[in-house]
Structure 1
Amino acid sequence: MAGRRSTGGRERGYVRKRGNSHQVLVYAGVDPVTGKDSYLSESTRDEKKIPEIRSRLLAKVDRQRNAATKATLSYALDAWLEVHEADESTLDRYRELAERTIGPALGDVPISKLGARALEQFYAQLRRCGARCDGKPFVEHRTADAHECRVVVKHRWPPGRPSVKSRAEHDCDAAGCRVAECRPHVCKPLSAGTVRKVHFVISGALAAAVRWEWIDSNPAAEAKKPKQAPPQPQPPTSDEGSRIITAAWAQDFAWGMLIWLKMVTGARRGELLALHWHDLHLDQGVLEIRRNFTHRNGKAREKDTKTHQMRRISLDPGTVELLATHRLNCQEQLAALGVAFDESAFVFSYEADHSRPCNPDGVSHRYAEMCTRLGIKSHLHTLRHYSATELISSGVDIRTVAGRLGHGGGGTTTLRVYAAWVAESDRQAANVLAGRLPKPGSTGRSD
């Protein structure tokens, strides 16, 4: 069957026989991801329907070519980020994905030309290599400017804000500073979770474009995104937890207090660092979580908690006593400086006057180094898992565990993340009940 031709002579529509079916193909332009010719296609076993199908596909291509707007994806992303409601740290992350990951690949593509297939190919490329390389070896240079490939040192400074003196006395060998240079590219695939975030950003921008009548439909709504991997928390064991807290106390009391509180409350890192003394009600044995502290791209912020809800966590007498000692140490430290103690001071700080909280990344790095010296594979967030698993294994109900962790959904998130430990706790419960009931032929309890 003859197909119509474009002004350039390219065949726009043709049919090919595939078994008992007729496949209608219509040229739709160059694929924005692969650079190859792209075709819309549809199959039918009824030869009489071929003209109808070809006309429909041609009309779809013509609508794309004559869209009401020529806006590119980068333009749509910028417009969406201007109006999207989210906290600053979340918006910063979206902007980073838009600039570093989405923009270089699809930023110049008109949104009217984007389709679900192009997006799925883009996601597949990111899952193979975050740099979307073509598989051929090349050198990753430290800078795009003209330079000679040479060795540079990436220093590792101690936690906190290093002074000029500490930098001058810095021992690279002792600190474990790394040597970096222009080196051959090694593919680093993006995780499924990161690609899902990329999809969310693209989908949000295209959904806004639909609302603004720039395009008729959102292709990201049809695109298949990577599956969400099931959570597999790996908390320290009870023995490892004891070794970790012992090592923390050995370093200094304030550091030990931070790790202790992380383990017994399961609070998020930023939530603990945002604590002021007026958030601790030691006479009632209660800790109030009201804020979260973040430090990203050089910007330090106190903001709402992740769930935007305040929560009160009960403290045991031993923890209350330790916090009272930590408070006394803080008061004595301030008195030595001639500074009056203020309830608005931060509970955990590297500053002598406790005027600002510890740097979140510095805390995480310090914890990781401590665990490395102990021979334990762990990062700071696993202490949140440690708290949850210890509580569940001890028989504490899910709703209580969820409340202490600050999980939303009445425990749904807690069940999803810690299902393995819930199952183990359930088996223990079964053994307890079975042990209290008499077996056939016995005269009393089986235990």
Structure 2
Amino acid sequence: MTRAGGTSADRRRGSVRVRGGSLQVRVFAGVDPVTARDRYLSETVRGTDRAARREADKVLARLQAQVDGQRSAQSTVSLEYAINEWLSTVEIEDSTRDTYVGYVERTIRPALGQVPISRISTRMLETLYAELRRCRARCGGRSFVVHQVEGQHDCDPSGCHPHVCRPMAASTVRQVHAVISGALSAAVRWDWITTNPARGAQRPRQLPPQPDPPSPSDAARLVDGAFAVDDDWGTLVWLVMTTGMRRGEVCALRWSRIDLDTGVVDVRRSYRLRHGVGTEKDTKTHQMRRIALDTETVVLLTEHKDRCAQRLRELGAELADDMYVFSNSRRFEPTTPCSPHSVSSRYRNLARRLGIDTHIHALRHYSATELLTAGVDLRTVAGRLGHGGGGATTLRVYAAWVAATDRQAAEILGSRMPKRPGRS
């Protein structure tokens, strides 16, 4: 062990020095690969007597072995820096990246952004999650005024108001945890830290999905209301209801992907808007699927195709296979798909006029629950919806309806069992 007075090389390797009434053990751990600064591992041993010095020798040896075994943290960069580096390398959808950046800006950076990743602890993360569940502003129970204007002003006309605690939703806290955990897992792979403290952190329990599909009577009213607006809009609502396609998938659908002769639609792409710019991408699960169409749906799509062809002929053009099935509702442009946002908005307005509390994605739930209630097997329903995992997602989301079909299966099996003697 070296103490004050040793060589420069010895002091860089490790030293023990008296600090007040304690001994501080320091071991050189190399140069930080990001900040280019010297890094040290250090621990404090209480006391300065002979027993304390023997304990300091043990600590020194342990820290030196930790450095030699390359088990020490390789970086003291902040959590914010680690998250930014992770976001620049991880392969996720642009929309997901935008969502994560929002969590970083609003929640993670103000709370833990400047904390070195080597100091992030499981308890620190669990404390943050608990604070967010009490109040997303992490007010700590304080009372204050939320000012709408900076500088000197009169609060009443400026719209300033007292702070009211609003707990962050459990699902949002789980998303915040996913961002932190993803960045810290990358930091472990990059040898910046040795373990991921987020891995063992408890976060809010994930509540089971609670799909709320429209009733059959409401579904019929919605379809009738859509056709009352115009046939194109009614056909779109009907197709989503009977196939369970996502709104982005139906917007990206082209005539080349519909075989009216065999009654099959080929779902391969999805259309999305990001910052006002529309682009096509893979489906949510990055898998194509083929959905069988019933006879009535084939008839409606055939009539819709004839209408589109007639409109194009009036414009001096011909219908092409690469044109979109559903185009902008305000003007007929089959080379430009419907906006997913406008589809949701138009459907919401339709439901509001009919006095039905629902949204466009609930039609997907309606398709699934009606099939399950009718006794269609889980794997087939999962295939039509484009769920991954061989039906695991379908089972998790629609567990209540699967249980209902299980009851039907039990009754069917019971009715087929041989009658016991003496029973009619």
- TM-score, reference length from structure 2: 0.78
Q: Does 1:220 align with 2:198?
A: yes
Report SS of the residue matched to 1:378: coil
Matched residue of 2:301: which SS? Answer: helix
- Alignment correspondent of 2:82: 76
SS at match of 1:220: coil
Aligned to 1:353: 333
- Pairwise CA RMSD: 3.5
Residues in 1 aligned to 2:194 and 2:386: alpha-carbon distance in whole angstroms: 40
Q: Give SS of 2:88's match.
A: helix
TM-score, normalised to structure 1, is 0.75
- CA distance, structure 1, for counterparts of residue 305 and residue 156 of structure 2: 50
Structure 1 residue 207: deviation in Å?
1.2
Q: Which residue of the partner structure matches residue 232 of structure 2?
A: 254
Match of 1:265 among 227, 243, 246: 243
Structure 2 CA distance for partners of 1:349 and 1:420, relative to 1, 3 Å: same
Classify 1:208/1:143 alpha carbon distance in 2 versus 1 (closer, same or farther; 3 Å): farther
Q: Between Structure 1 and Structure 2, whose CA radius of gyration is higher?
A: 2
1:53-202 matched pairs, under 5 angstroms? 68-140=74-146, 183-202=161-180
Structure 1 position 244 matched with structure 2 position 244: no
1:303 aligns with 2:281: yes
Q: Deviations over 1:224-274 (max 9, x none)?
A: 122111112111111111111111111111211111111100111111111
Task: Give the corresponding residue for 1:386.
Answer: 366
The answer to whether the Cα contact below 8 Å between 1:339 and 1:353 also exists between their aligned partners in 2 is no
State how far apart, in whole Å, the 2-side matches of 1:146 and 1:287 are. 63
Could you report, residue by residue, the CA deviation over 1:16-60 in whole angstroms, capped at 9, with x for unpaired residues? xxxxxxxxxxxxxxxxxxxxxxxx9xxxxxxxxxx98xx98xx89
- Equivalents in 2 of 1:260, 1:409: separation in Å? 27
Deviations along 1:286-318, whole A, 9 cap, x unmatched? 101101111133332211111111100000111
Which position in structure 2 is the counterpart of 1:398? 378
Q: 1:339 to 1:205 in 2, by over 3 A?
A: same
Equivalent AA in structure 2 for residue 120 of structure 1:
E
**Kindly, what percent of the aligned residue pairs are identical?**
53
**Map of 1:408 onto structure 2:** 388
Aligned length: 375
How far apart, CA to CA, are the structure 2 residues paired with 1:361 and 1:146? Answer: 41
Amino acid across the alignment from 1:100: R
Please list every run of 5 or more consecutive structure 1 residues that lacks an aligned counterpart in the other structure: 13-39, 41-50, 153-180
What's the CA shift for 1:357? 2.0
CA deviation after TM superposition for structure 1 residue 440, in Å: 4.1
Rounded Cα–Cα distance in structure 1 between residues aligned with 2:378 and 2:146 = 48
CA pair 433-99 structure 1, distance change in 2 beyond 3 A = same
After superposition, the Cα gap between the structure-2 partners of 1:424 and 1:81, relative to the gap in structure 1 and judged at 3 Å, is: same
Could you tell which deviates more after superposition, 90-99 or 76-85?
90-99
Contact 1:371 1:378 in 2 (8 A): yes
Q: Is the 8 A contact 1:235 1:383 kept in 2?
A: yes
How far apart, in 2, do the equivalents of 1:316 and 1:144 lie?
Answer: 61
Whether the aligned pair in 2 keeps the contact of 1:348 and 1:358 (CA below 8 Å) is: yes
| Conserved? CA contact 1:334–1:353, under 8 Å | no
